[in-house]
Amino acid sequence: MADYKAVDFFCSGGGMSYGMLQAGINVIAGIDFDKNCEETYKANIKGAEFIHADVFELKESELEERLSLKKNDDNLVLIGCSPCQFWSIIYTKDKGERARRSKNLLAEFRRFVEYFMPGYVVVENVPGVLRRKDESGLEDFITWLQENDNGYKVHFKVHEVSEYGVPQHRKRFTLIANRVTKKELEPVKVHGDKITVRDVLGEKNGFPKIEAGHKDNTPFMHTVAGLKEINLKRLALTEKDGGTRLSYVNSELAPQCHRNKKDGFKDTYGRMYWNKPAPTITTKFFSISNGRFAHPEENRAISLREGAVLQSFPKDYIFKTTSIANTARMIGNAVPPKYAEAIGKAIIKSGKNE
């Protein structure tokens, strides 16, 4: 079997890298501008080098020398999962430097692809990057991949990650390009029923009952944000297993903007369903006011570890962070490892000619 090696640009806490490792691809390095994710990445992605660098300043030749990379290597995988806030439908419009950088990250990643001409290229992002593919530079990138002398075969599509072993509904744009075969490679689906909240959370899965505000100082991080008295009262009235704000919509407990209103967005302050995949785990999953993030039956939001497991991180994944908000941001922004593994398996299968 081919000895695949990957370099993970914009690696953050390692969700993509971990999934690739599980698929059987050797991740040799992760690159990120955020120094705060270094400890988490190094704690979990064993054997990989963490490169703290701004991709706008990093030179192709520097990376080539540092990692002993070769050009035109059929077994090299370059991965570019750039921060996605600019293209997200829930992103508040920012006209400043962050927005400009987000838009140009794909162009910077393309520099390295053009220089190394790897056997495989992976790009993962929010669906918005496809809806605005001309503005994002994605359209030009896809055209170049298809029409350069190497003629990459390119798969690009929005996938639902719950079909790939992730216990969560989440749509993600995914591009897998390869110049090694003439096949279009797609993430490898998991057959059978989708994994639900009940399959991974609850006492039988190692999550003891806790109350709002519980602090877990062990690496398990079964830590949950505190709640104001009014929110505890709201949850006490919210029906178990999928209940919503409609349980108290006509009472003084309802926020003014929701009072007596039964239409519109109902997920805010809602509970997860036991027998369904979770809703999309965002960077604010620790707060019940930001979505359907209340536990199916306990009167609290889901914990940090519960959010990580719903993102398909293993229960022993180590998060080296300094606050609930920072941990949740790293978890919510991550590529779900099980989905990354499905992408990696597609690459592995191509080498076996399956």
Instruction: Tell which residue, 313, 308, 274, 315, has the closest CA to residue 292.
Output: 274
Q: pTM score > 0.85 for this model? A: yes
Q: Where are the domains of the chain?
A: 5-189+336-351
What is the predicted pLDDT for the residue at 327?
Answer: 97
Pairing mode of beta strands 171-178, 120-125? antiparallel
Q: Is 84 a catalytic residue?
A: yes
Amino acid at 26: N
Topology (CATH level 3) of domain 5-189+336-351: Rossmann fold (3.40.50)
Q: DSSP per residue over 191-254, as a string? A: PSSPP-HHHH-SGGGT-----TT----STT--------HHHHHHHHHSPTTT--GGGGTTSTTS
CA atoms of 246 and 151, how far apart (whole Å): 55
Catalytic residue among 11, 81, 84, 257: 84
What is the predicted pLDDT for the residue at 6?
Answer: 98
Question: Are 305 and 207 in contact, with CB atoms under 8 Å apart?
Answer: yes
pLDDT average per 10 residues of sequence, the chain (354 residues): 90 97 98 95 97 95 97 97 52 45 77 97 84 72 90 94 98 95 95 97 98 97 97 94 89 77 76 98 95 97 98 98 95 97 96 68
**CA 230, 232, 90, 100 torsion: positive or negative?**
positive
Apex CA 313: angle with CA 294 and CA 217, to 5°?
Answer: 70
Question: Are 214 and 200 in contact, with CB atoms under 8 Å apart?
Answer: no
What is the predicted pLDDT for the residue at 287?
Answer: 96
